[in-house]
Structure 1
Amino acid sequence: MTPLTWQWLSFDSLSNLQLYQMLALRSEVFVVEQDCAYQDLDGKDLKALHLVGALDDKVLATARLLPVGVSYPDAASIGRIVVHPSLRGQDLGRKTVKLALEQYQRLWPSEALLIGAQARLTRFYEELGFVSEGEIYDEDGIDHITMRWAKCA
């Protein structure tokens, strides 16, 4: 596995370069690769804690952790989980989610945790302790499903 340096940063703590690289990575995967025109800059980054995985000052993995009330009225959330395409197959997606879950447990252990997962990744999230809730829904042309972390991973 590629040895990344991991940091948790508030929006105000991100350097200009980190923010630029984080947004560029999200755009590369979510907009270009997945052919999905959507509004990535949704205002939630301002309220999030950002997990940044970098190698030689290049952001190669990221996720955002959102407090209760930002994405869901009664639950915290993890979102915008992404790993650079060149690093796939190294379990960095799993590592990114696990680090986000650890931080969530430190900050809000008594709060529920929900994610809006791409439906094609249901099994991946189930292996990390998430369970599906409700029906598959369309978000920006991609099937998604709400998943709750069952705290058993």
Structure 2
Amino acid sequence: MLSIHHAPLRKTDPESLYRIVALRTDVFVFEQGITSEPELDGRDLDPTTELFWTREGDEVLATLRVLHDDGDVAHIGRVATARHARGRGLAAELIEAALGTCPGVVGISAQAYLEHWYARFGFVRTGANYLEAGIDHVPMRRTP
């Protein structure tokens, strides 16, 4: 059975946390080859950070995190879906769930090829493309 969860790190059960980190490592390090910056960057430990994940049985299929530490602007990042679970709308469900917890402006550093995908949630480009971890990104924001 598919379920969506969210909690700060300190309230996330160890098994779920392990599976979240394993999924992010699979996607960002092994698939996308991001080795120029650490996957575990310390931001998950911030008391205002919320982790979101979708589980099916014991498996975490998709995840993201929301950073609530920039004044009135929340930031969504580390959006990842297991390769075999893509195309099921899991990341979209997590984005919607995350947006439901963010009453104000939400920013995202989107991989450029996903700009139109994020636009369907109300995100708009706010600047020029730039490289982050060697991948083309675009800054975007969503205003309620």
TM-score (norm 2): 0.91
> Given that residues 64 and 76 in structure 2 are in contact (C-alpha distance below 8 angstroms), is that contact kept between their aligned partners in structure 1?
yes
| Aligned mates of 2:91, 2:43 — CA distance in 1 | 21
Total equivalences in the alignment? 141
Gaps of 5+ in 2: none
Residue 76 (structure 2) pairs with residue 78 (structure 1):
yes
Deviation of 1:150 (Å): 3.3
Between the aligned residues of both structures, percent identity stands at 37
Deviation of 1:144 (Å): 0.8
> Given that residues 9 and 52 in structure 1 are in contact (C-alpha distance below 8 angstroms), is that contact kept between their aligned partners in structure 2?
no
Deviates more, 1:128-137 or 1:35-44: 35-44
Aligned to 1:122: 115
Residue 52 (structure 2) pairs with residue 51 (structure 1):
yes
1:33 paired residue among 31, 34, 37: 31
> Given that residues 124 and 141 in structure 2 are in contact (C-alpha distance below 8 angstroms), is that contact kept between their aligned partners in structure 1?
yes
Amino acid across the alignment from 1:127 = R
Residue 126 (structure 2) pairs with residue 133 (structure 1):
yes
Deviation of 1:58 (Å): 1.6
Amino acid across the alignment from 2:86 = R
TM-score (norm 1): 0.86
Q: Structure 1 runs of 4+ off > 3 angstroms?
A: none
Counterpart of 1:79 in 2: which secondary structure?
strand
Gaps of 5+ in 1: none
| Aligned mates of 2:138, 2:98 — CA distance in 1 | 19
Amino acid across the alignment from 1:78 = I
| Aligned mates of 2:86, 2:74 — CA distance in 1 | 27
Deviations 1:53-107 (Å, cap 9, x if unpaired)? Answer: 11112211111111132xxx65211111111111111111211111111121xxx
